[in-house]
Amino acid sequence: MPSHDMNSFQTVLRSSKHIIAIAGAGLSVASGIPTFRGAGGLWRKYDAMSLATPGSFRRDPSLVWQFYHYRREVALKAMPNPAHLALASFSLPQTRALIAPDSTFTLITQNVDGLSARASQQVQSAQPQFLDVPDDTQTKLLEMHGRLFDVRCTSAKCGHTEFNTTSPICASLAGTELAIAAGDADHAIPVVDLPRCSECGALARPGVVWFEEVPLHLDVIENLVDQADLCLVVGTSSTLYPAAGYASEVQEHGGTVAVFNLEHSAGDEEADFLFLGPCEETLPKALGLTSVLYS
Ligand code: BV8
Ligand code: ZN
């Protein structure tokens, strides 16, 4: 049975040396980003997951681009919340030195909204007096399912990828982000008017990892999972693989697992610690960062 005792969790945290966090859609709920389950799981009359496949894009790139354009527009208006900021602060060696001395930390997120990266920039810039400390947070955030604002060429010969936060990403998608209700019609946008590669002009696609596609950074992640002695599982239903398998791997080699979720999620009865509630409240507290974030 998992413990709900925050003090004994912080005792484990203090003595942990190789810490990872696995995050999901629940991390960004407080920032206004819908999850993949429940009400958030639907966009127009479509199941969000059914649109995130190579097959859907092949069959109807206009529809899939309208789906991702909508998510880009939502993410552009969103701000990192206290859970993002807590994880970003904990990524800073100088902050972690006070909470878990001589430890390493990596955030492995399934989210493609870019809010964890923005939180890192935010906490970095808020720490000018430490500028002389080497900035290694880059490797401290692994977006294993890609990024909404990466745009990739579909031509295998070219493969050009660029980070593009242009809004709208192209004229033909302008306004389509307003049509999200189940009954709203799909505009059939001609493929020539969809986002094109800025290098070769071929059709471009969102730089995210679709179902049946191999996630990013798998080798680095598997290494981190093998080394980890503490795994924080934050705001994920733990139903999507390979991400959903990492926590039990950490436990198998004697590591500790702590789950932070609004409600029960797959496998949480096996966890060592379980903190039910909004992670934007529970995580800053658990990481002892409440004062840092709200000062
Ligand atoms: C692959 C990017 C081959 C695109 C995404 C083994 C067994 C069974 C199936 C498989 C398997 N291995 C692979 C599969 C197939 C598939 C899979 O797992 N299917 C599932 C459905 C069974 N996996 C794949 O296809 C993967 N690719 O396998 O390639 C391969 C792999 C390895 C090596 C060689 C070959 C990868 C697929 C990646 C798909 N792309 N995203 C896009 O975003 O559009 S997945 C996408 O859905 C997200 O990234 C995320 O991963 C997933 C959604 O899950 P969550 O983030 O957990 O969100 P969810 O809504 O489910 O839950 C939210 C939770 O938050 C809830 O529990 C809720 O209670 C909680 N919550 C809400 N509010 C709060 C909160 N918690 C705290 N605070 C709050 N305030
Ligand atoms: Zn190209």
pLDDT band of 290, cuts 50, 70, 90: confident
Roughly how many angstroms between the first and final C-alpha of the chain, as a whole number? 36
Nearest ligand to the CA atom of 203: 2
On the question of pLDDT at 185 being above 90, the answer is no
- Express each pLDDT in 37-52 by its tens digit: 666 567 777 788 889 9
Q: What is the mean pLDDT of the chain?
A: 92
In this prediction, residue 295 carries a pLDDT of 53
Strand 104-109 relative to strand 141-143: parallel, antiparallel, unpaired? parallel
Determine the Cα–Cα distance for residues 1 and 82; give it in Å rounded to an integer. Answer: 28
Using a 6 Å CB cutoff, which residues line ligand 1? 24-26, 29-30, 35-37, 52, 110, 112, 145, 208-215, 235-237, 239-243, 261-263, 265, 278-280
- Cα 291 to ligand 2 centroid, rounded to whole Å: 47
In this prediction, residue 180 carries a pLDDT of 74
On the question of pLDDT at 294 being above 80, the answer is no
Beta strand ranges found along the chain (DSSP E):
18-23, 42-43, 46-47, 104-109, 141-143, 146-153, 161-163, 204-208, 230-234, 256-261, 273-276
Q: For the whole model, what pTM was predicted?
A: 0.95
Note residues around ion ligand 2 (Cβ under 5 angstroms): 153, 155, 158, 160, 197, 199-200, 202
- Express each pLDDT in 107-129 by its tens digit: 999 999 999 999 999 998 887 65
- Cα 145 to ligand 1 centroid, rounded to whole Å: 9
Q: Which atom of ligand 1 is nearest to the CA of 40?
A: 60
Q: How many CA atoms lie less than 13 Å away from 294 in the CB half-sphere?
A: 9
Pocket test for ligand 1, best of 107, 211, 249, 264 (most atoms within 8 A of CB): 211
- Express each pLDDT in 73-92 by its tens digit: 999 999 999 999 999 999 99
